[in-house]
């Protein structure tokens, strides 16, 4: 009897945990006012849904629309919990970060807070470029670029002040923009000059370790235009390097344990 009661308790706890895990996912709707030229197909493409779902949600008898008509657009909604970032939410639902950001134009991609509602778009026929994210200089960076840069930030500065992590991400973006260095994030991070790696995590393999959410946040802030490095093209920890070349470069700022130079 005791074992049966215990088994029922364990089973109920599993059910509660399962429900809680999906509790932040709900159904919601946004409104769209029809304008001249709109069709159900065009509207479905805009909101990454289907004509069938639009027809059902609005109980439409036919496909004819008229200007001024207000349609209800069914969408999924995610309630932000502590620890969430836009990148992690996109990963959870199997969509790209640019598509998630595009579906939430009034949400800052670099700052979300618990309780905030995030629209989770469907992926039917999306016309949004799902492979890249625009940055401060107009360049587009892929999710792979963002992940690689976040891993570098994490490996180089996980214990540093947040502003220092943003500065490291910004300094890499500054190299990408400079004609002196490769013009891609991957090219900059993996560059080897005269047999020397530019970043020690590439040499010792730490670049392959996953980044935490703070590192991703730092990358987003750098992409958005924040550059606490003051235009630096590199950085070093004076307690960990004997390289005399970096010590001869012009210092732009010092943040935490890192000296940034140009």
**CB–CB of 55/40 below 8 Å?**
yes
CB 191 within 8 A of CB 182: yes
What CATH number is attached to the domain comprising 55?
3.10.350.10
Q: 88 lies in which domain range?
A: 25-127
Dihedral sign of CA atoms 19, 21, 23, 28 in order: negative
Q: How many domains is the chain built from? A: 2
Give a yes or no: residue 1 inside a domain.
Answer: no
Cα–Cα distance for residue pair 41/49, rounded to 1 Å: 9
Residue 119's beta-bridge partner residues?
Answer: 77
> In terms of domains, do 186 and 209 share one?
yes
- Whether residue 165 is found in the same domain as residue 249: yes
Beta strands (DSSP E) in 34-179 are: 70-79, 117-120, 133-134, 140-141
Question: Would residue 12 count as lying in a domain?
Answer: no
From first to last of its 262 residues, the chain has per-residue pLDDT tens of: 545 555 554 445 444 444 444 445 556 667 889 988 888 878 877 776 778 888 888 999 877 888 999 999 887 889 999 988 888 888 888 887 777 887 787 888 778 999 999 988 765 434 344 445 656 566 788 888 999 999 999 999 998 998 999 999 999 999 999 999 999 999 999 999 989 899 999 999 999 998 987 888 889 888 878 899 999 999 999 988 888 888 999 999 999 999 999 9
């Amino acid at each position: 009897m005791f074992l049966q009661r215990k088994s029922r308790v364990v089973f109920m706890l599993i059910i509660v945990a399962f429900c809680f895990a999906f509790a932040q996912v709900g159904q919601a709707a946004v409104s769209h006012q029809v304008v001249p030229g709109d069709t159900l197909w065009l509207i479905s493409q805009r909101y990454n849904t289907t004509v069938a779902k639009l027809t059902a949600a609005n109980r439409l008898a036919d496909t004819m629309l008229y200007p001024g008509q207000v349609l209800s657009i069914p969408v999924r909604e995610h309630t932000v919990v502590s620890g969430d970032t836009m990148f992690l939410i996109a990963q959870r639902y199997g969509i790209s970060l640019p598509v998630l950001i595009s579906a939430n134009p009034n949400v800052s991609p670099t700052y979300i807070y618990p309780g905030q509602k995030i629209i989770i778009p469907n992926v039917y026929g999306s016309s949004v470029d799902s492979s890249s994210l625009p940055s401060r200089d107009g360049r587009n960076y892929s999710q792979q670029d963002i992940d690689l840069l976040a891993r570098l930030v994490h490996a180089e500065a996980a214990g540093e002040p947040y502003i220092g992590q943003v500065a490291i991400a910004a300094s890499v973006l500054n190299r990408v923009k400079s004609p002196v260095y490769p013009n891609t994030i991957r090219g900059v991070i993996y560059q080897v000059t005269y047999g020397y790696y530019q970043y020690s995590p590439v040499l010792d393999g730490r670049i392959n370790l996953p980044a935490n959410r703070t590192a991703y946040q730092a990358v987003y802030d750098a992409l958005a235009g924040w550059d606490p490095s003051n235009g630096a093209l590199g950085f070093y920890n004076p307690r960990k390097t004997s390289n005399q070349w970096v010590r001869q470069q012009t210092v732009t700022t010092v943040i935490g344990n890192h000296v940034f130079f140009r």
